[in-house]
Amino acid sequence: MIFTVAIDGPAAAGKGTISRAVAARFGFRHLDTGLLYRAVGALGGDPVAAARALSPEDLARDDLRTLEAGQAASRVAAIPEVRAALLDFQRRFARSEGGAVLDGRDIGTVICPEAEVKLFVTASPQVRAHRRWLEVGGDAAQVLAEVLERDARDMGRAEAPLRAAADAVVIDTSALGIDEAVEAACAVVAQRLPRTR
C-alpha cells in the first residue's frame, strides 16, 4: 500500500513529535525532512554540493537539533538548487510501499501535493518560542526573536514558502497537550486509510 501523510508547520509547533507518533501508530516509515536541510547547513561549504552529496551518516550527526543548525537550515532551504537536489529523495521516500509520514515546511504544497493526508500543525509564536526555550535554554526573548525571524524567512521565501496546503487539516497545538495533538492527527489519518487495512 502506498499512503503518504504530509505534515507541515512552523518551528516548534509539534509536527516532529506528532509525525513520529503517527508513523509508530500506523506502522509507516518516517522522514523528518528538516534534518536534510539541517545537515546541509551544518556541513558548511557550498550548500548545493553538500545537498547533492548528502549521506545517511550526515543525518545522524548529534548537532542537528541546535538553534544554530535550525537557522542554517532555514538559510539553505531558501536556495532553489538545494531544494531541487533533495526533492527526488523525499518524493521516492513518500511513495514507497508500506506508507510514509514526512514532516517539514512544504510537504503538502510542493513535495507531495498528492498525499492522501495533509496536516498543518501550528501554534502561536509565543507558545512555540517557550517550547524551544525549554528545549535549548538561553535567553527567552532571544529565542522568541529567532522564532519570529525564522517564521518570516520560511513564510517569505520565494521558493516553496511555508503555508498550509488548501486541503490540509489545521491542528493548532497552542492549547493542546502532546497526547491530544497526536490523537487529533491520528483520527484524520485513520479516517482516510483504505478500509481494507
pLDDT at 192 over 90: yes
pLDDT at 67 over 90: no
The amino acid sitting at 95 is: R
pLDDT at 159 over 70: yes
- Binding positions: 9-17
Q: Which helix (H) or strand (E) holds 43?
A: helix 33-43
CA dist 132 and 78 (Å) reads: 22
Plot region of 13 (φ>0 → left; ψ -120 to 50 → alpha; else → beta): alpha
pLDDT at 179 over 60: yes
pLDDT at 197: 47
Q: Does 175 fall in a domain?
A: yes
Sign of CA dihedral 164, 131, 82, 158: positive
pLDDT by residue (tens digit) across 97-153? 999 999 999 999 999 999 999 999 999 999 999 999 998 899 999 999 999 998 998
pLDDT at 196: 54
Q: Does 105 fall in a domain?
A: yes
Q: Does 196 fall in a domain?
A: no
What percentage of the chain has pLDDT greater than the value 90? 76
pLDDT at 163: 94
Cross-strand partners of 186: none
Q: Does 134 fall in a domain?
A: yes
CA dist 141 and 10 (Å) reads: 18
Kindly report the CATH number assigned to the domain that includes residue 88: 3.40.50.300
pTM recorded for the entire structure: 0.85
CA dist 159 and 73 (Å) reads: 14
pLDDT at 47: 96
Q: Which helix (H) or strand (E) holds 104?
A: strand 100-104
Q: Does 52 fall in a domain?
A: yes
- The whole-chain average pLDDT of the chain stands at 93
| Cα→Cα distances 136→45, 129, 145, 185, Å | 26, 10, 14, 26
Domain membership of residue 124 as a residue range:
4-189
- Binding positions for ATP: 9-17
Mean pLDDT of 28-44: 93
Q: Does 48 fall in a domain?
A: yes
How many domains is the chain partitioned into structurally?
Answer: 1
